[in-house]
Amino acid sequence: MNLEHFKSSITELVNSKQTTSYKLQAICDFLKNEIDYYDWVGFYFKNGNKEELKLAEFAGEPTDHTIIPFGKGICGQVAVSNQNFVVPDVAAQDNYISCGWKVKSEIVIPIFVKGENIGQIDIDSHSVDPFSKNDEILLEFVCNTVSEIL
């Protein structure tokens, strides 16, 4: 994985003269198309004052999980823990919300604005254990960059 290439491309997308929604969708599309084991890429954000996440822009198959309560599933756990969560094999997780039988692993990285966890990027893969430290570095960069436009 060429981190500098990906970081440069993400920076270009975020700095474009487009709406925030357009930029988030472009990031999802870019990551899904450029990294072969990123089979679903999406952003979830805190839903107003509710203790739940709401699906925003995404690339991949549609999901029924457009609202996720805090604490439920991997995304809901990240909303509470404020920590990255890498799941090499979703079958080994008790508190996992299945998005489809093809999903084998997941990585979720929180997005902070002024110290508050306001959302996250969620990546599903159809491969078991594909995520490395470079994926975490890249997705942390994405979240930090996105936080500047929210």
Q: What are the CA-CA distances from residue 128 to residues 35, 45, 92 (Å)? A: 15, 26, 11
What's the rounded Cα separation, in Å, for the pair 1 and 109?
18
Coil/strand/helix, residue 104: coil
Coil/strand/helix, residue 132: coil
Nearest to 122 by CA among 36, 32, 44, 30: 44
Give the tens place of pLDDT for each residue, 32-90. 999 999 999 999 999 999 999 999 999 999 999 999 999 999 999 999 999 999 999 99
Cα torsion angle, 75, 125, 30, 34, sign: positive
Residue 146 identity: V
Paired with 120 in beta bridges are 44, 110
The domains located in the chain, with CATH, are 3-147 (3.30.450.40)
Q: Which pLDDT score is estimated for 96?
A: 84
Q: Which pLDDT score is estimated for 48?
A: 96
Give the tens place of pLDDT for each residue, 125-135. 999 999 999 99
Instruction: Name the average pLDDT for the chain.
Output: 96
Q: Which pLDDT score is estimated for 101?
A: 79
Q: Which pLDDT score is estimated for 98?
A: 74
Give the tens place of pLDDT for each residue, 104-142. 999 999 999 999 999 999 999 999 999 999 999 999 999
